[in-house]
Structure 1
Amino acid sequence: MRRIIVLLAAMLVLSGLAGCGDDKKPAQEAPKQEAPKQEAKVEQPAAKAGEDKKLQIGLVYISPVGDAGWSYSHDQGRKALEEAGGVTTSYVESVPEGPDSERVILNMARKGYDIIFTTSFGYMDPTIKVASQYPDITFLHCSGYKTAPNVSNYFGRMYQARYLTGMVAGAMTKNNILGYVGAFPIPEVIRGINAFTLGARAVNPNAQVRVVWTKTWYDPATEKEAAKSLLDVGADVIAQHQDSPGPQEAAQERGVYSVGYHTDMSAFAPKAHLTSAVWNWKDFYLDVVKQVRAGTWKSGSYWPGIESGVVDIAPYGEMVPQDVRARVDAAKADIKSGKLKVFTGPVKDQKGAVRVAEGAVPTDQDLLGMTWFVEGVIGTTE
């Protein structure tokens, strides 16, 4: 799962977005790990009467499927495809971005897969390259911005869920210091931190969010240590843009609260876990397969929000009071209906300059290229 200005320039050429990849994993970021690649294959029962032949589907993951995070969330979508029947699925986990990913994608294409999902930003260019050689295969790349006749990109408006989890954190803090363990200072992560901060300050104007960068997507030990460094400066709620539950565990060990990411991480820190910003890929993957089977699939860019179910928040921990739940639930309903748009102005940056004028709403291009922190964030975007 480089330079920010390069990514921004590329993103700004996009137009007519139905939605776009929320910039998960830049192409030149450090790989999460060099774990041995393993391919798992699940054979499905024969297609039901009236169905076409089985579709062969492959998925490429940046981290282990047992990471409880990003890759795990996609693998739940794969399992939903299995349960639906009529398909054969395979995946390769812990694939570093770059040449290794191209080899894995090419190997799937050579085997004649019908659909290939590549699930990290750094897989974008390899996906486009391989897709050009296999025009009859459908490729979907998660989080990027490039498309081709047989390649779509897809992601979700996770910043909406981040805003809601920020509301919970802002209501639960006693020190008014929230800690945020971030992976890389790219627009996706920065946008999430900003949304979290806006949510926190919507219920608690005195809340501050302190950010520490790990420069890794998946390194449980590093993530946990980063969380501890935030706890050492007084944070009493820890949030994260990381794949492992390490930050959750650090919070529980110190007797404070936490907010997870990717999946419901309550099992790892039940005494600390307030909620998580979560991904639900099941319906999206099932719909893609349905379209491909029916011959109606078309290339495009997809950036659905909370209304689609692709992004959401996990159930509240028992410690979250009913009045906090009610307020967050009301905000969630307003986001679904379009009444509440997370970055509606006025929005100021760290220096107090107005970045979004009062009543204005940023465009998708503005959000995709966000490289500045909002007022209330303590940290740098480098």
Structure 2
Amino acid sequence: MESKKNILIATKFFYPDITPRAFRAFELAKEFSRRGHHVEVLIPERNYCYRNLESKYGFMVKARVKPTPSLIQGNKVKAMIRFGLEYFFLYPHILLMENFRNALEKEKGHDLLLSIAYPYPVHFGVAKAISKNRHMAKVWVADCGDPFLKNSLGRLEPPFYFRYIEEWFCGKPDYITVPVPEAKQAYPKKFENKIRVIPQGFDFDDVPQNHEEPQNPVPTFAYAGNLSPGLRDPRKLLEFLHRQKAAFKFIIYTKNEKFLLDYEKKLGAKLELRAFVPRNQLLSELGQMDFLVNFENGNSFQKPSKLIDYALLKRPILSLRSNDFNPQLVIDFLDGKYESQYRVENVEEYHIEKVAQQFLDLI
């Protein structure tokens, strides 16, 4: 029987946020607590009562980090200002550095301090706090869902001075964890001895199992996640689908739908744009699809965690590249031919029990 550990998780995103990082933190908090460890989760202040969640799962939520202001919204000029603040200064997320540092000031006696990014100023705040208070935790693990410097994915390269920030940060934690082996190449080589690969963790019992094939009147498929022009960009697929006479239904769950509104008009009832929904509801709805769509990232060291959900639902996966569209592959899927589907290997490695144990092994 493993000894009881004191674990502190520092994260900006947590339940009920609908993001991969919120899911990462929530699943780990539940699993660590289920094993009998004392678990605390440090997050920004928010208008949400965690009493029932704490009672159900046994962890404690400390929503005491000062939150960041909202980004400037409005016309093109304001959008340019917003971009400049974000691109050059990481604003408003950079404020989390001092806010987390202040919230961590009096923490001590933890066996494991696990900080989770995105955004990276969460890590920066921990770095500043632990530099002044090494009694805060025996082991600090900085969990990085995406790289800091090499997270451009087709966007502008980050400013040159980000290199110095990355070097400073990477020297601080005991370990840096990344979700896939390929991600190691996205970090400075001199810190590779600190890097451990720990994938996203999933509670397989939470995934609905559909034992019967969906009985949709027309081929029905879906995508769930963020989209952006030139990156995870479905417009080539939508343009191709617009030229098809066959009946189908394509459902997209996203919060980045504005650049797709023209296709909603073109495709009519064949395309449905939906807002994000809670994960349990999403999985239940995705399980009713004939197949599921993935848009690949523009590099080898970032892989969407949604692929694991897709695989656990046991639905065929149509994986497409935004810059190298394959129309024949789409035609095959519309015809119910899934021989070329994307396959996720070694799904068992993503079980939350195995993932949580890998973090505990670092203590």
The interval holding the TM-score normalised by the smaller chain is: 0.3 to 0.5
Identify the structure with bigger relative contact order (alpha carbons < 8 Å, sequence gap 6+): 1
Name the TM-score, length of structure 1 as normaliser. Answer: 0.38
